[in-house]
Amino acid sequence: MVEKCIVFDLVLSEYPFPIAIAHQIVSFCFTSPFITAGSKKNIAHWLHHPNFSLRIHDVTEPIMIEVDQIYHLACPASPPHYQYNPVKTIKTSTMGTINMLGLAKRVKARMLLTSTSEIYGDPEVHPQPETYWGNVNTIGPRSCYDEGKRVAETMMYSYRNQNNVEVRVARIFNTFGPRMHPNDGRVVSNFIIQALQDKDITIYGDGTQTRSFQYVSDLVDGLHKLMNGDYDGPVNLGNPDEYTVKDFASYIKDMTKSDSEIKLLPKSTDDPSQRKPDIRLAKEKIDWAPKVTVRDGLKEAIRYFQSVLDESGEIIPTGPGAAKPKKIKIQEEA
Ligand SMILES: NC(=O)c1ccc[n+]([C@@H]2O[C@H](COP(=O)([O-])OP(=O)(O)OC[C@H]3O[C@@H](n4cnc5c(N)ncnc54)[C@H](O)[C@@H]3O)[C@@H](O)[C@H]2O)c1
């Protein structure tokens, strides 16, 4: 059993594996009005567990703590969120990863980085194997995230080669599930929230771009296996079940029995035209493959978003353009 491990993420730390594998979990997040999609509510039921503690810490600042394993997930992942403050996003992936690697080196901890399919950019190879080097615009609106993760991967292997830090790199493809923030801004949450309210389901572009969607419990299982296995090269974790975005919108519309119209809006800059993981390496090296079908995962996500809507009333999901939070109006006394 791992004595102590830290997990930098409030969404994924909700899922049960950390308590099962670690004697003590320290979960971290960074809070700001818009950058964080994690919510304390997601881990409320763990807060009093004797093996769990939560600390609010920004990974761009160094930290001293004794741990055996570090799951370094800190980073906004949704385009409108990471584009809101691109400088902070790149600092999180660069300074944050250096700080975590420095910690891993000092305390001899094994460290797992959650990299992304975005490092493949707009891929010319389909599906994407780990050997593909990618096609990324260095100066586009997505580059703060894509290039931040690419350099984070480079840092991981530099620390491994120079300082013998044990590293693991997961290249995660689109993941969804309950407890996502309703304003996450990615297709799964946007489409479900729009469909459940019979609002227009908005697609940016002509909808022919493809995506592959994996359910969160499969990802957590994959991260756990990768962390505790022997393989230290980058590994794709995703579900190869591929949809055009337009078909996916229709699928959600049918599942929610919605009266929404599907509406096409202008394409967002540098939006990848296709995405599908080649997961042969994950099968071979860590004996992992997704178990939850997209349909079953969507049923859970729809149930969750319906309960959020029941609780909060109308929700207008976040669009792809970075939008600053509205200033709170302070009511003047009459
Ligand atoms: N969800 C996906 O589809 C997906 C796909 C590829 C990669 N990933 C990667 O997985 C990780 C988690 O993704 P997610 O969807 O849960 O993201 P999210 O945006 O929902 O959550 C990000 C978390 O990181 C924390 N965070 C952000 N900046 C921080 C900082 N400077 N210091 C400390 N904490 C900080 C936030 O508080 C939040 O809890 C990210 O690294 C992301 O790049 C996710």
12 lines ligand 1 (CB under 6 A): yes
Q: Distance between terminal CA atoms of the chain?
A: 62
How do 201-204 and 262-265 pair as beta strands?
parallel
The number of residues making up the chain comes to 334
Place 324 in a pLDDT band, splitting at 50, 70 and 90.
very low
pLDDT digits (tens, 9 = 90+) for 142-178: 999 999 999 999 999 999 999 999 999 999 999 999 9
Helix, strand, coil % over all residues of the chain, rounded to 5: 40, 20, 45
35 lines ligand 1 (CB under 6 A): yes
Q: What is the CATH number of domain 2-175+214-237?
A: 3.40.50.720
Residues 6+ apart with CB under 8 A from 109: 67, 68, 69, 70, 103, 166
38 lines ligand 1 (CB under 6 A): yes
φ, ψ (nearest 5 deg) of residue 112: -110, 125
DSSP bridge pairs for 105: none
Q: 71, 145, 159, 243: which is the annotated catalytic residue? A: 145
In this structure, the number of other CB atoms found within 10 A of the CB of residue 132 comes to 17
- pTM assigned to the model: 0.91
Place 13 in a pLDDT band, splitting at 50, 70 and 90.
low
pLDDT at position 25 over 50 = yes
Ligand 1: residue of 6, 7, 9, 94 to mutate (most ligand atoms within 8 A of CB) is 9
Domain layout of the chain by residue ranges: 2-175+214-237
> Which residue, 38, 32, 151, is CA-closest to 101?
151
pLDDT digits (tens, 9 = 90+) for 86-121: 999 999 999 999 999 999 999 999 999 999 999 999
Q: What percent of the chain has pLDDT over 90?
A: 70
Predicted local confidence at residue 190, as pLDDT: 94
> Which residue, 108, 109, 119, 41, is CA-closest to 71?
109
Predicted local confidence at residue 201, as pLDDT: 96
Ligand 1 midpoint to CA 331 (Å)? 35
Predicted local confidence at residue 18, as pLDDT: 53
The residue whose CA has the least distance to atom 12 of ligand 1 is: 73
204 is catalytic: no
